[in-house]
Chains A and B, each alone.
Chain A
């Protein structure tokens, strides 16, 4: 009997996309779900991790890094993204710099009823801020990350990556 392994998004694929797009800093709040990614990122030469105390900080820090000519990404959970509304408005949307925000899609699933309000309001939140987004669930989707970087650079706007595999590949 053959057991089919579920397709997952590996942290290595995410880091590879960061490297491909010249990411210099990952501004983040570590959490248990993305711990393996955090550990992997710490090992990468040329990739500096900036741990923060609250998600709203991440967008201001990213703006400062962008002004300095660096290429940061923000790595947070959807709950923190919603807490960060005014920072996203004032420090990203109004500033006119390209920024990819990688957002853990807590509560999302493809196979059943979504009961976690964190997931329920994630896409409406992004739509309200007119931020385009791409869902990434497995390694085969990882090219969408480069698509997001290209779009951010072309538009000088934020673009979100929703990581739909938050409880799976990153937490092996």
Chain B
């Protein structure tokens, strides 16, 4: 398994101008490495549906690279989206799943069949252009540029170390972040999309 922060550290060097949508417990690490926050987007709001929103964004902005950092728990809540994405064939879409095999934010309970599922296999058989699996950082680092250059939809499953949270939600300390509305506003400004 790989530390999530290391995934983002390696990815940042290959990000280019891509729009990045981080989700889940692991996704919080992206803030430590991003150098272009105007192209970072928070699309959370309903677990499992950030994937749908990322697809919609990719379809609506075909000239922009869209990279989603998903989680396996969220993907399991909306597995049909794999077929939907594969059917639409967004060439600009890269779908990365950080798989910590559990619901880290609720105490680390395992997701169903946590250690036996082949997410990349499901994506590939659903019709993604290509699919990768990694549980070694060096291997990911070797392939990440190829992944970013590949014609989408591309799927990447990465085994990451769980960062389990057990404190009651009300006692958790979170660093200040931009809200979803703020990230949408900033991205639209960056891309010159007028607010209606």
Contacts and interface: CB of A to CB of B under 8 A. Distances in A.
A69 B64 CA distance: 13
Interface stretch (A51-59, A110-118, A158-166): A51-59
Nearest to A25: B59
* Contact count band on B: 35 or more
A56 B59 contact: no
B129 interface: no
Interface string B28-46: 0000000000000101111
Interface in B18-62: 41, 43-61
A69 B60 contact: yes
A148 interface: no
A65 interface: yes
B81 A53 contact: yes
Nearest to B55: A61
B181 interface: yes
Given A50-B59, A62-B56, A94-B45, A69 B194 contact: yes
Interface residues of A, number: 35
A65 B56 CA distance: 5
Nearest to A27: B56
Given A51-B84, A54-B80, A60-B56, A67 B188 contact: yes
Interface in B39-98: 41, 43-61, 78, 80-81, 83-84, 87-88
Instruction: Tell me what chain B mostly uses at the interface: helix, strand, loop, or mixed.
Output: helix
Contacts of B81: 53, 57
B59 A60 contact: no
A65 B59 contact: yes
B18 to A, nearest CB: 15
B169 interface: no
A59 B48 CA distance: 12
A133 to B, nearest CB: 21
A59 B59 contact: no
A64 B53 contact: yes
A50 B46 CA distance: 20
Contact of A59 (B41, B52, B54, B194): B52
Interface of A: 25, 27, 48, 50-54, 56-70, 72, 86-87, 89-91, 94-96, 98, 153, 156
15 contacts: A50-B84, A53-B83, A60-B46, A60-B49, A60-B51, A61-B56, A63-B45, A64-B54, A65-B60, A66-B56, A67-B193, A68-B61, A86-B46, A89-B46, A91-B45
- Give the 6 A-B residue pairs with the shortest CB-CB distance, closest first: A64-B56, A68-B60, A60-B52, A53-B80, A90-B46, A90-B45
Interface of B: 41, 43-61, 78, 80-81, 83-84, 87-88, 180-181, 184, 187-188, 193-194, 196
